[in-house]
Amino acid sequence: MNSRVELLSDLWQQRVSTAVHWLDENGLTGSVGLVLGSGLGNFVDSLTDITAVDYGDIPGFHSTSVAEHSGRMISGKAGDTTVLVMQGRLHPYEGLPYDELLLPIAVLAGTGINSVVLTNAAGGLNHQYEPGDLMVIRDHVDMHTGDPLRGLLKDKGQTVRSLRPSPVYDRELSRLLVNTGAENDVAMHTGVYASMWGPCYETRAEIGMLRRVGCDTVGMSTAAEAVLLSRLGVKVAGISCVTNPAREVGQPELSHQDVVETGLKVRDKVSRLLLAYLSKI
Ligand code: HPA
């Protein structure tokens, strides 16, 4: 187990080390981590030497309850790089306590990977963004109540807020993603992601608020994962895939199915980007 896990509380160290040990014994290892959001899971088809397990098989993990999120931990190779992939993630709106959602992320950190790319499906708040666009996350606004690290760290006496790493998203990795996109004909925006509770999409007033505070995309994940990883010393980059414009006046209700379908359209672009990125890292 990696020494970064020593930052976690005793209970968490135990839970993380049990899962890390199990993954190791079952041949799931990697030097780079990847979390694939809604509709992006097929990236794993680009990998070779695949080993896959359902989340429910890993000690302490919960299965996802959303039909389109497949919920598997997969290791494989992209060229010479070994990748540990979370295909699908748990979301706060599924009703589990926050720390249960973050266990798989703490386990990724515990395996000793060097860096993680978090991906998500998101609504576009920025008027320049269109469905199918990609955005490298420069920073986020986390609209969830409470701090994601509450109770997870060993030293509970320090205020977690003062420990929040800044920047959360690694500048070098983010630049590498943008440059890799440019070299592979995949245009990338750079901007700010807003993380909401869900599962409802935002009201018009919320969309107006998020735009006014400078957010460019909106979704229901990623922010807490990024904070935990960077606090544990793992370099993090994030990509939002714009699946829809955030709902404007007069637009029809947006369904999860709409989001998944546009996600399917961008997935080839994302796969091309990630494969090229992994070959450089
Ligand atoms: N809002 C929140 N989450 C989302 C959206 C959205 O418009 N699209 C995809 N995930």
The answer, yes or no, to whether any atom of ligand 1 lies below 6 A from the CB of 129, is no
* pLDDT tens string 6-54: 889 999 999 999 999 999 999 999 999 999 998 888 899 999 999 999 9
Helices (H), the chain: 10-25, 98-110, 160-163, 171-183, 204-212, 223-231, 256-280
The answer, yes or no, to whether any atom of ligand 1 lies below 6 A from the CB of 220, is yes
Q: Which domains does the chain have, with CATH numbers?
A: 3-278 (3.40.50.1580)
> Which residue from 281, 280, 241, 269 is spatially nearest to 43, judged by alpha carbons?
269
Average pLDDT over residues 159-175: 77
Q: Are the beta carbons of 117 and 238 closer than 8 angstroms?
A: yes
For residue 123, the CA-to-ligand 1 centroid distance in Å is 4
Q: How confident is the prediction for the chain on average, in pLDDT? A: 88
Q: Are the beta carbons of 137 and 110 closer than 8 angstroms?
A: no
Nearest C-alpha to atom 10 of ligand 1 is from which residue?
122
Q: Which pTM does this prediction carry?
A: 0.92
DSSP bridge partners of 83: 32, 76
Nearest C-alpha to atom 3 of ligand 1 is from which residue?
219
End-to-end distance of the chain based on CA atoms, in angstroms? 22
The answer, yes or no, to whether any atom of ligand 1 lies below 6 A from the CB of 122, is yes
| Integer Cα distance of 180 and 275 in angstroms | 10
Nearest C-alpha to atom 9 of ligand 1 is from which residue?
122
- For residue 243, is pLDDT > 60? yes
Nearest C-alpha to atom 2 of ligand 1 is from which residue?
219
* pLDDT tens string 53-90: 999 999 999 887 665 556 999 999 999 999 999 998 88
Atom index in ligand 1 nearest the CA of residue 196 equals 2
The answer, yes or no, to whether any atom of ligand 1 lies below 6 A from the CB of 202, is yes
Atom index in ligand 1 nearest the CA of residue 124 equals 7
* pLDDT tens string 251-276: 666 677 777 777 777 888 999 999 99
